[in-house]
Amino acid sequence: MIALILDDSEMNNLLLAKALAPVAGCRPVTFTEPEAALAFLQAEVARIGVAITDYEMPGMNGLAFIAAARAVSGFEHVPIVMVTSLDQQSLRREALRIGATDFLGKPCDPVEIRARVTNLLALSQAYRREQERSAVLAREVAAAVAVCEAREREIIALLMRAAEHRDTDTGDHIARVAAYVAVIARHLGMSPEAVSRLSLASTMHDVGKIGVADAILLKPGRLTAEERDEMEKHAERGQRILQGSTSDVVQLAAEIAGSHHERWDGTGYPAGLEGEAIPLSGRIVAVADVFDALVSERPYKKAWPLEEAATFLRENAGRHFDPACVAAFLAGWDEVRRSARSFAD
């Protein structure tokens, strides 16, 4: 590993380099100008195991060099030794605060230099080995998580395929709703991970319809009051089906299933929740679900134009829908239109 040596005196550099020559695996590289030393440090940060800098130098002194070196990405934990003939406690405290690791006094003792640098190089090598092991472990964990997430998505897809067999509209509907949910979540400022998790969970929002009789689920005309009451039970059924899972996605899906028919003004079902008492996930899916229902053709109605459906959302913000969710949906209107075309019936 490289031992970077900085001193404005060529003679001092030669003495330090000579003292370190017997240290196995150490290659001294000397500089008399701090700017040149910093440029080399930035270019060779991965190969430098220790830096030794003088304190008293014209222009940039040792403290300024240490501060600049610590600001270089990847050099935060490389040992830095400051060499000074001064024995001021305040100076040493300031050097430690800025990032110095150790000190050497002038005149330097070659035996002490070799011992200090050998120990610091070992410390530097140990740290880098630990970083490499941590990186390998992080990659292994990420790969294992990716496998688990892929299996989770597969199970969810199989579950929704079962629902799709009972309702020919379900497949396209859940794909569009998931896309609209992602638009809303992004424009609400959610992280990419949260957007992905919410979009996937939203695909299970109507899983409770598995328990609805075919005569009701597939009825081409409008439902009677009794049939509507039975249909509305799908929200609670879906929540019960999904409850109790250890999966974060399925837990979120259970929350969505039970709340996506609640209304901002408290007139929804199944619990009559109002305003922010409705989980945000349910408020988001409510906007996406109703919009898709409006713009989709069904046996009992024609599809609304996209702009008319958007107007409906806007007019019902604060009554049926969370105004913030409607605003986020409309803020991503270009994305909504592209998704509507991509997943057209």
Where are the domains positioned within the chain?
2-135, 166-342
pTM, two decimal places? 0.61
Q: Which residues of 193-204 are buried (b: 16+ CB within 10 A; e: fewer)?
A: eebebbbbbbbb
> What pLDDT does residue 344 have?
61
* Dist. CA 230–CA 220, nearest whole Å: 16
**Other beta carbons within 10 Å of 98:** 18
Q: What is the pLDDT of residue 151?
A: 77
- State whether CATH 3.40.50.2300 applies to domain 2-135: yes
Structure confidence at residue 154 (pLDDT): 74
Give the burial class of 178: count Cβ atoms within 10 A of its Cβ; 0-12 exposed, 13-18 middle, 19 or more buried.
buried
- Residue 77: predicted pLDDT: 92
CA proximity to 181, closest of 329, 31, 27, 6: 329
Outline where DSSP puts E strands in 192-242. none
Local structure of residue 328 (DSSP, 8 states): H
What CA–CA distance (Å, rounded) separates 56 from 43? 25
pLDDT at 92: 87
Q: What is the CATH number of domain 166-342?
A: 1.10.3210.10
Mean pLDDT per 10-residue segment, the chain (345 residues): 94 93 93 95 94 92 95 94 83 91 88 92 91 90 82 72 57 85 97 95 89 81 89 93 89 96 97 97 97 85 92 97 98 94 67
pLDDT of residue 276: 97
